Amino acid sequence: MLSKSGAIQPGSVIGIIGGGQLGRMTALAAAELGYRVHVFTPEQNSPTEQVSAHVTHGAYDDQDAIETFGRSVDVVTFEFENVPAQTVRHLADLAPVRPSWECLAICQDRVREKTFCNELGIETAPWKAVSSVEDLKAAIAEIGAPSILKTTQLGYDGKGQVRIHADTDPANAWQDLGGGSAILEGFVDFKLEISVITARRKGGAMASFDVVENRHKDGILDKTIAPANIPADLAAKATAIGQKMAQAMNLVGLLAVEMFVTQDGYGKAHLLVNEMAPRPHNSGHWTQDGCKTSQFEQFVRAVADLPLGTTERHSDTVMLNLLGSHAELWHQQLSDPENKLHLYGKAEPRQGRKMGHINRLYPKGSQPKG
């Protein structure tokens, strides 16, 4: 249902493709704004459906189920990228899709993603597309080692990657990756990793959250520190990059952009874009407790074409992911009254699986180190 302004009216149904924790927290934020959520997911008892009004279980390429779903909602979005772009393209004939399938197609393929950035004049690590062992040998000869061989699609949290060292046999590396379409990226000796999340409405209005620092363990985000302890001019540059990318894609929704902070030959801080995601992001979970508007509420506002909320940070925050069995220490975490606990409703605590997170607040300006 559209209002006279073109916004999706409260009481309407927001369709979310994907049933993970990002969809769950988006559904909770949508409910607070008066919307109902209909989730489409192949997973039974998914985190999102536990808090949603409706659920359709089906494969992402089940055209009949997708069409029925599309006709039952007022607007469609997605909570992760691993959805066939053609499925989302088909949905666009049935309901507004925000972000668009074109945005999804860019962000779910590393070659398209890197090309998009470079054509905007935004720097990335050196890279080469690879589709065979011979391509890999040529790419290694050009880019050198150490470097990282990645699948162009479906890789996340350190999956779908093979490290290339000076003594690595290219044939073995190609076999370990599983072949297919890939990309070789030059290794980046970075000082820290940062990210920025930008919301954009249909008419072009944008708002960005503070730039944060991300620290990883075993390829998975361990903690996010908000704000990042970097110079103000560098934070402004990172924000400008995120907004430039969102504008160039005509994105409606959220765009998270991860960047490396390096140093050029003169010791000056330098930014290289690593990855982007057109959805809420793990590095934005701190906003649930550290900002006046969370990334999930902002996502709903943008998708529904509502006025964007303030991104003002009222507290410095450290977000800590709870992986696998760490989530079973929930009672211990709650015993500290300063901790804000968020669990995702997942039944099986597998190793490395994101089961929840904790936000810990500090006085604004205290610059927590985590």
Q: Are the C-beta atoms of residues 61 and 69 closer than 8 Å to each other?
A: no
Residues 217 and 295 in one domain: yes
Q: Would you say 158 is a known binding-site residue?
A: yes
The verdict on pTM exceeding 0.85 is yes
Q: Would you say 88 is a known binding-site residue?
A: no
CA neighbor of 280 nearest in space, from 304, 256, 259: 256
pLDDT at 321: 96
Residues 287 and 233 in one domain: yes
Q: Would you say 342 is a known binding-site residue?
A: no
pLDDT in tens, 315-356: 999 999 999 988 788 888 888 988 999 999 998 888 889 999
Q: Would you say 275 is a known binding-site residue?
A: yes
pLDDT at 350: 87
Q: Would you say 356 is a known binding-site residue?
A: no
Q: Is the residue at 298 inside a domain? A: yes
Q: How many other β-carbons are positioned within 10 Å of the β-carbon of residue 188?
A: 17
- Of 57, 81, 97, which residue is a domain's last? 97
Q: DSSP code of 202?
A: T
Domain that holds residue 137: 126-186
pLDDT at 71: 97
Please give the tally of structural domains in the chain.
Answer: 3
Residues 206 and 306 in one domain: yes
CATH number of the domain that residue 67 is part of: 3.40.50.20
* Cβ neighbourhood burial of 171 (10 Å; 0-12, 13-18, 19+): exposed
User: Which residue ranges in the chain fall short of pLDDT 70?
Assistant: 1-5, 154-159, 265-267, 367, 369-370
Q: Is the residue at 181 inside a domain? A: yes
Residues 213 and 322 in one domain: yes
Residues 224 and 352 in one domain: yes
* Cβ neighbourhood burial of 92 (10 Å; 0-12, 13-18, 19+): middle
Q: Give the 3-state secondary structure of residue 47.
A: coil
Q: In whole angstroms, give the CA distance from residue 299 to residue 91.
A: 19
Residues 221 and 350 in one domain: yes
Q: Is the residue at 1 inside a domain? A: no
The tokens describing 251, both together, are 């994105």
pLDDT at 266: 52
Q: Would you say 360 is a known binding-site residue?
A: no
Q: Is the residue at 136 inside a domain? A: yes
The bridge status of strand 54-57 relative to strand 36-41 is parallel
CATH number of the domain that residue 158 is part of: 3.30.1490.20
CATH number of the domain that residue 277 is part of: 3.30.470.20
Q: Would you say 60 is a known binding-site residue?
A: no
Residues 176 and 75 in one domain: no
Q: In whole angstroms, give the CA distance from residue 180 to residue 133.
A: 10
Q: Is the residue at 277 inside a domain? A: yes
- Of 186, 218, 234, which residue is a domain's last? 186
Q: Is the residue at 63 inside a domain? A: yes
Q: DSSP code of 124?
A: B
pLDDT at 347: 86
Q: Would you say 15 is a known binding-site residue?
A: no
Q: Would you say 113 is a known binding-site residue?
A: no
The tokens describing 35, both together, are 């919307």
Residues 29 and 56 in one domain: yes
Q: Would you say 367 is a known binding-site residue?
A: no
Q: Would you say 314 is a known binding-site residue?
A: no
> Which residue in the block uniquely carries the two structure tokens 């920025």?
196
Collect all residues with Cβ–Cβ distance below 8 Å to 313 and sequence separation of at least 6: 209, 210, 226, 227, 290, 291, 364
Residues 256 and 347 in one domain: yes
Q: In whole angstroms, give the CA distance from residue 62 to residue 248.
A: 31
Residues 320 and 195 in one domain: yes
**Residues paired with residue 147 on neighbouring β-strands, in sequence order:** 164, 186
pLDDT in tens, 165-219: 999 999 999 999 887 889 999 988 899 999 999 999 999 999 999 999 999 998 8
Residues 161 and 29 in one domain: no
- Of 139, 168, 186, which residue is a domain's last? 186
Q: Would you say 268 is a known binding-site residue?
A: no
Q: Which residues of 330-366 are buried (b: 16+ CB within 10 A; e: fewer)?
A: beebeeeeebbebbbebeebeeebbbbbbbbbbeeee
Q: Would you say 187 is a known binding-site residue?
A: yes
Residues 236 and 144 in one domain: no
Helix (H) or strand (E) holding 332: helix 330-334
Q: Would you say 188 is a known binding-site residue?
A: yes
Q: Would you say 18 is a known binding-site residue?
A: no
Q: Is the residue at 103 inside a domain? A: no
